[in-house]
Amino acid sequence: MITKPGAAGQSLRTSAARVLTGHGPLVTYGLIALCCAVFVLSPAAGLNPAYGTGDALLAAQRTFFARWGVIPAELLSGSPRAAITPVTALFVHGSWLHLLGNMLFLYVFGGMVEERLGHLQFALFYLGCGALALFAYALANAGSTQTLVGASGAISAVLGAFLKLFPKARVTSLLPFLFFLPLRFPAWIVLPFWVTLQWLAARRDENGPGVAYLAHLAGFSLGFLYAWGRYARRSKVKGPAGHRAPATEGDSQP
């Protein structure tokens, strides 16, 4: 998916200008770089010879995921070591496909949300919503001992915020049931469709933990509600003459 200037052209042009002047989405780029570095250096990638091969590599991978990923039963038991895992798990990925898929969505949607929120606020938003999404998943699967890793909950929060902030931004989508033809739709069509698919998948997930669809839904909802609460009041500020003051960039719907 890629976003292109549409009704939100002014916001996109502002973001592009900041990138060119060195003030672009630095947190987004930093998160991508950190996730990639952790994956490549960890046993998950299978590239570090220090972890060996075969059974030794598999054992190292299991240990790595269990140490830094969320295990619902341990997290809810009050273990001090497990308390930090809703944050550390955001930087751990299970495979190349898992990593690249998440980083693609973060790259496409994260920059514009970061430009709107600001660097520090975006970093706190990303980590906070991501951790809460994983905690929500743990609550729903309290007895599970299966490890959960990945940034999907945090990135889902970014998508939720993007929908609230840029509902008319054009998103190019590849739809499998239309032979992967690239079609352009507004974000307000694409992202709710994605949420619906996640909800249906979560309802059909009868075998317990696996793909964390519930974490995706929780993250998306948190991101949307945060953006709604953050900007809802600011768009209603009255001017000194009693007229509605013009909203600053990002406060009005594009």
- Compute the distance between CA of residue 247 and CA of residue 249 in angstroms, rounded to an integer: 7
Residue-level pLDDT at 48: 85
- Residue 107, number of CB atoms within 10 A of its CB: 15
Contact between 128 and 214 under an 8 Å Cβ cutoff? The reply is: no
- Compute the distance between CA of residue 254 and CA of residue 92 in angstroms, rounded to an integer: 35
Structure tokens at 51: 């972890």
Neighbouring residues of 188: CB distance < 8 A, sequence distance ≥ 6? 163, 167, 168
Give CA separation, 53 vs 50, 61, 92, 97, in Å. 9, 11, 20, 20
Give CA separation, 252 vs 50, 118, 231, in Å. 53, 17, 9
Task: List phi, psi (to 5°) of 191.
Answer: -70, -45
State the distance between the two ends of the chain, measured CA to CA, in whole angstroms.
Answer: 20
Exposed, middle or buried by CB within 10 Å (0-12, 13-18, 19+), for 117? buried
Residue-level pLDDT at 182: 47
Highest mean pLDDT among 9-13, 89-93, 170-174: 89-93
Domain ranges of the chain: 2-225
Highest mean pLDDT among 46-50, 112-116, 209-213: 112-116
Q: pLDDT tens digit string along 28-77?
A: 999 999 999 999 999 999 898 889 889 999 999 999 999 999 999 999 99
Residue-level pLDDT at 52: 86
Residue-level pLDDT at 132: 96
Between residues 108 and 12, the one the model is more confident about: 108
- Per-residue pLDDT for 152 more than 90? no
Question: How confident is the model over 134-151, as a mean pLDDT?
Answer: 91
Q: Where are the alpha helices (DSSP H) in the chain?
A: 9-20, 26-41, 54-68, 72-75, 85-88, 96-117, 119-140, 152-165, 187-204, 213-232
Q: pLDDT tens digit string along 232-241?
A: 765 444 444 4
Q: How confident is the model at residue 189 (pLDDT cuts 50, 70, 90)?
A: low
Helix (H) or strand (E) segment spanning residue 170: strand 170-175
Overall fold of domain 2-225: Rhomboid-like fold (1.20.1540)
